[in-house]
A = this chain, B = another copy of it.
């Protein structure tokens, strides 16, 4: 038994990644980085924080081994450190879901009422993609589409959707997807498409889950 000092030190280190993820803004950063690498300024915009604050959060995540960075000219690009981090972030969301607690009410107030939205899961989408009777829209911001997307998906960031409605092929069902179940972009897109009289539904989860399931992925060279 003995050395409880060394044991404490060991567990204090094991827990560093949890401390890093234990902040809403840093969790938002990880959720965005799960889509692909991004620069500091882009990330600051995504999480609605100052660049200085975002930089400090990123450094905390970096020290904890949750993300890694590379320099390209004057910009620094951050990305998730590896698949263990993706599993960690997923397990965290699942733990929160299992707890229910306030989560339901908060999700409702952020995501709105989802009961009327049609959904489709990964396996079925994959089948219908093979049959070719479906149009897939990637409604995430453009840099995330460029980093990687579902093969054949069209990039239509949700804030450009209204202007580009006419360019979306007709005669087939539309499936919109975004970052994951806590992302509103696909919901908003499905509502807008439905209002326009199109048959639209959202992919149940998001791109990271598609990729993690080992399904095919395409990226802009």
Residue ranges of A at the interface with B (Cβ–Cβ < 8 Å): 1-4, 6-19, 21-28, 31, 48, 64-66, 81-82, 84-85, 87-88, 90-103, 106-107, 109-110, 158-159, 182, 184, 188
Contacts and interface: CB of A to CB of B under 8 A. Distances in A.
13 contacts: A2-B184, A7-B110, A8-B25, A11-B31, A14-B92, A15-B24, A15-B27, A21-B22, A64-B99, A82-B95, A84-B91, A87-B87, A91-B91
Given A7-B28, A11-B24, A1 B87 contact: no
Q: How many copies does the complex hold?
A: 2
Contacts of A48: 4
By CB atoms of chain B within 10 A, which of A8, A82, A91 has the most? A91
A28 B6 contact: no
Contact of A103 (B2, B14, B25, B182): B14
A1 B159 contact: yes
Given A88-B91, A109-B6, A13 B96 contact: yes
B1 A184 contact: yes
Nearest to A88: B91
Contacts of A90: 91
By CB atoms of chain B within 10 A, which of A7, A103, A184 has the most? A7
A72 B159 CA distance: 56
Contacts of A95: 17, 65-66, 81-82, 84-85, 88
A107 B21 contact: no
Contact of A106 (B9, B88, B182, B184): B9
Given A4-B48, A14-B93, A87-B94, 20 more contacts: A1-B184, A6-B110, A8-B24, A9-B24, A10-B107, A11-B25, A11-B31, A11-B182, A12-B24, A13-B101, A15-B22, A18-B19, A18-B22, A18-B92, A19-B19, A65-B95, A81-B98, A81-B99, A84-B95, A90-B91
